[in-house]
């Protein structure tokens, strides 16, 4: 990737650090980080309507299971969760498969990529009652930024995952972030 943007260079460096830390951490669940998708898979998925931004992310990291309550899907799992984009009766949220693409879950609430604006949207504080939210919150300007600034940043991840202070030292994702040199 000779023409990598600073954001993608930062994403690649962060994922490399996490993969190295994971390889050296037999006490952390190995399925925490997904692999990558190849160009053929990405081209076929794009032809099927998967947003390019999400595919670009999956070329670097095909999903991350950050803990029991926070997950960024890989391509295969994302394809299985697109039903969350369908309109829900009496929900004030603008749900539409033409406008949204489900890319993860936080606290039993789906996280969406806005197909038009590229932002990552969700209502994580609503948890399983997310369909009753008045509106979506923009969680990040894009998928890479969501991963880097929200999931790979310990304070933000801790807030999103609702981790109790007493459990901070036991959370596998936080262990991995610390071992990768991404924590304070």
Token pair for 180: 């990768």
Tens-digit pLDDT string for the chain (184 aa): 444 555 589 999 999 999 999 999 888 776 689 999 999 999 999 999 999 999 999 999 999 999 888 999 999 999 999 999 999 999 999 999 999 999 999 999 999 999 999 999 999 889 999 999 999 999 999 999 999 999 999 999 999 988 887 777 788 899 999 999 997 6
User: Sign (positive/negative) of CA torsion 15, 99, 95, 75?
Assistant: negative
- Ordered by start, the domain boundaries in the chain are 6-178
CATH 3.40.1580.10 fits 6-178, yes or no: yes
pTM value? 0.91
Token pair for 178: 């610390």
Task: Give the max Cα distance, the chain.
Answer: 49
Strand, helix or coil for residue 157: helix
**What letter does residue 142 receive in the DSSP assignment?**
S
The answer to whether the CB of 156 falls within 8 A of the CB of 6 is: no
Token pair for 118: 């590229």
Token pair for 153: 């940043």
Cα 103 to its chain centre, rounded Å, is 6
């Amino acid at each position: 990737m000779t023409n990598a943007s600073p954001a993608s260079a930062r994403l690649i460096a962060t994922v490399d650090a996490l993969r190295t830390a994971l390889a050296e951490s037999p006490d952390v669940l190995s399925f925490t980080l997904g692999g990558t998708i190849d160009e053929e898979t990405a081209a076929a998925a794009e032809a099927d309507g998967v947003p390019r931004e999400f595919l670009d992310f999956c070329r670097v990291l095909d999903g991350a299971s950050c803990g029991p309550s926070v997950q960024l899907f890989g391509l295969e799992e994302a394809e299985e969760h697109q039903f969350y984009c369908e309109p829900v009766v009496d929900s004030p949220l603008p749900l539409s498969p033409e406008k949204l693409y489900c890319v993860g879950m936080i606290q039993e609430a789906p996280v969406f990529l806005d197909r038009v604006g590229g932002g990552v949207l969700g209502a994580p504080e609503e948890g399983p009652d997310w369909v009753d939210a008045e509106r979506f919150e923009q969680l990040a300007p894009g998928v890479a930024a969501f991963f880097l600034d929200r999931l790979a940043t310990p304070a933000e991840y801790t807030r999103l995952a609702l981790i109790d202070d007493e459990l901070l030292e036991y959370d596998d994702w936080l262990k991995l972030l610390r071992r990768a040199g991404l924590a304070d």
